[in-house]
A and B are shown apart, each in its own frame.
Chain A
Amino acid sequence: MNIKKQFKEGLITNNPVTVQLIGMCATMAITTTLFNGVGMGLSVLIILTCCNVAVSAIRKIIPNDIRLAIFVVIIAGFVTIVDLLLQAFIPALSESLGVFIPLIVVNCIIIGRAEAFSQKNTVGASFFDGVFQGLGYTCVLIVMCVFREQIGSGRFGGGLIDVSNGFRFTLDGTGAGIQLFNADYGASIMNLPFGGFITLGLLIAVMQHFLKKSAKKKEAEAAAAAEAEKEAD
């Protein structure tokens, strides 16, 4: 169980959205305000971690034939728990995210991690995997929200940050955010579906560019080291 490696993987090299290319529905749909993004990201992180731990705990007694059905039942259970708790305690987030909270059940990230990781690893490793993959997902959501909100409405932190009486976080979604430039000058098309598609496309392109560059660099270094070794002989 290598925590540093899992951290780097979850955030960058094996990021669920930009590298594994799964879980994109919600990413594009709800990233219109920072409140949505952080709320959704943390919900997915909690559900992913709980599901990973649950699946890992019973991995030795699940019959192989019906494992997918059992995963789905466990995930649906945790999603409903989070849904009920959000409706009761943070109703603004529940209204804002709407049908996408129950849709976390079919979010490929959670089923994917259960299938690929937690059914083959210990509870501890699965716990950290859930946390780091969830963190990676949340980071992608935050980046997309900030980008879309900035260009679309000229503000940062809509729904979450309120600066009218000094800086504070509003957990009931009423914060108006920091208006960096007048909303009339924003390209409000970024708040619409088009903005979602384009932002995610650009984000994945940027990530792919940097990952390829670093992969090429590593290859060049390895080749140079091999050359140096040959010469030394």
Chain B
Amino acid sequence: MNKILKLTVILFLICAIVAGVLGLINEVTWRRIDQIQTEKTARAYAAVLESEDYEDLGVEPSTINKVSINSIARASNGAGYVVEVTFSGAQGSVTMVVGVDNDYRCTGVSITEHSETSGLGANAASPAEVGVNFRSQFVGADDSVALKKAGGEIDALAGATITSRGVTNGVAAAIQAVKALG
């Protein structure tokens, strides 16, 4: 009985020391991590539709064509709306932000979260030329946007048809969500 008690106490002590050290490191880093997150979202919003501020409309999350609509925010300068959507990519969920102007046309696309394969689907989110070129195809698109293989205008990413189709469907769903606002 004594032995088990001693073992438990030692284990508990070591856990406590480790947890304490982690708490210290967390104190040092959490503000920075939070800041990076907020900056990322703000950058994504600004990249698709420039405005000083965005007002969340508090819509109920819904699903259009297998794409989840997470939130819609209205740009305070009246330029349009920013829609956050989530869809199934090739290796898991992809979350992106779509800008929609008052004519129900896309103003830009920015991917905020994904776990796609580096070098293939991840290129859709990449800041390199290949990613920029892919995303800029969606500017000016309306909700009938489709890949070239499906009769539309969008060039899919090399070797990443599933991701490309997902982004295309996401843009279409975002525009439809804004239309549904009335």
Q: Which residues of A contact B (CB under 8 A)?
A: 32-33, 36, 63, 65-66, 69-70, 73-74, 76-77, 80-81, 84-85, 87-89, 91, 96, 98, 149, 152-153, 158-159, 174, 176, 183-184, 188, 191-192
Contacts and interface: CB of A to CB of B under 8 A. Distances in A.
Contacts of A70: 10-11, 14
B120 A66 contact: no
Nearest to B113: A95
A32 B29 contact: no
Interface of B: 6-7, 10-11, 14-15, 18-19, 21-22, 25-26, 29, 32-33, 36, 115, 117-120, 126-129, 158-159
Contacts of A88: 29, 32-33, 36
A102 to B, nearest CB: 13
Given A149-B119, A188-B119, 4 more contacts: A32-B119, A69-B11, A88-B32, A174-B126
B22 A73 contact: no
B144 to A, nearest CB: 28
Given A32-B119, A191-B118, A91 B11 contact: no
Given A32-B119, A81-B22, A174 B14 contact: no
Given A174-B128, A188-B158, A73 B25 contact: no
Given A70-B11, A174-B127, A184 B158 contact: yes
A165 to B, nearest CB: 14
Nearest to B121: A191
Contact of A87 (B19, B29, B128, B159): B29
10 contacts: A32-B119, A70-B11, A76-B18, A84-B26, A84-B33, A85-B25, A87-B36, A96-B118, A158-B119, A188-B120
B14 A73 contact: yes
Contact of B25 (A74, A84, A184): A84
Contacts of B119: 32-33, 149, 152-153, 158, 188, 191
Given A70-B11, A81-B25, A183-B158, A87 B33 contact: yes
The 4 closest A-B pairs by CB, nearest first: A188-B159, A77-B18, A88-B29, A32-B118
Given A153-B119, A192-B117, A80 B158 contact: no
A174 B122 CA distance: 12
A63 B118 contact: no
Contacts of A63: 6-7, 10
Given A36-B118, A174-B127, A191-B117, A81 B14 contact: no
Contacts of A33: 118-119
Nearest to A36: B118
Given A36-B118, A192-B117, A74 B18 contact: yes
Contacts of B22: 77, 80-81, 84
A33 B6 CA distance: 48
Contacts of B36: 87-88, 91
